[in-house]
Amino acid sequence: MSNPFRADSSSGQQAVGIGMTSQRTRDRLVDLLAELLPLDPRVLDVMRQIPRHLFVEEALASRAYDNVSLPIGYGQTISQPLTVAQMTSALLQGPPLRRVLEIGTGSGYQTAVLAALVPELVSIERISALAAHARRVLRELGLRNVALVVGDGSQGLPGKGPYDGILITAAAATLAPALFEQLAEGGRLIAPVGAREQALRRFTRTENGLQEERLGAAHFVPLQRGRG
């Protein structure tokens, strides 16, 4: 499937054209991120291309290339670029990802970064207005390997797995066991976990069970139950 952001794509022109006006500010942001943490070069490449300003409302567009989270309405936020880079890098580490599930589409920016890196992505969002906006921007960018689902993703999408990667962009005190059941062997689940104090965690499904790592502190909006 054609994907304008894939490094191996012959249609890279389109991606370059869209972000022309902010290429320099985007490069500056990505250079800063690379100084802050060890990050996957494939992720940095994609973040140089994807126009983050299209995922926030126009009044905030001038801040889109600052390393900050920003409000996107409905009490939700677009994640900080460093967090997006860190989570995506952590997800990519290991065997290649074919199918990935994202929980908490929000603005769709993290979705776009993932869609440029993996063949097949499913993303679920409980607030339908946010999903609708994300769908428009992703389509505008020509990212067609994403299926957006409106609904409660706190249990993942039971019956639709397994996934090689699951990325959750809202924090839960504990993760539902159903989520781990949807993880393929060798698959990774990245999520902020914790009620008052959150930590970013990576769970890897090995033949001997789940292996858990702590990746650092996190500050996410809560993972909620039910439709928005």
Nearest to 205 by CA among 181, 191, 188, 220: 188
Window of 16-24, 38-46, 124-132, 195-203 that interacts with ligand SAH by CB under 6 A: 124-132
Alpha carbon distance 52, 81 (integer Å): 9
| Catalytic site includes residue 79 | yes
Min dist CB 66 to ligand SAH, Å, is 14
- Give the residue, chosen from 126, 133, 202, 205, that forms a contact with ligand SAH under the rule CB under 6 A: 126
Window of 73-81, 173-181, 183-191, 209-217 that interacts with ligand SAH by CB under 6 A: 73-81
Min dist CB 126 to ligand SAH, Å, is 4
Min dist CB 106 to ligand SAH, Å, is 2
Helical packing angle, 23-36 and 81-92, nearest 10° = 60
- The per-residue DSSP string of 143-187 comes to --SEEEEES--TT--TTS--EEEEEE-SBBSS--HHHHHTEEEEE
Q: Does 3 bind ligand SAH (CB under 6 A)?
A: no
Nearest to 92 by CA among 163, 40, 49: 40
Residues at the interface with ligand SAH (CB under 6 A)? 72, 76-79, 103-104, 106-107, 109-110, 124-127, 130, 152-154, 169-170, 221, 223-224, 228
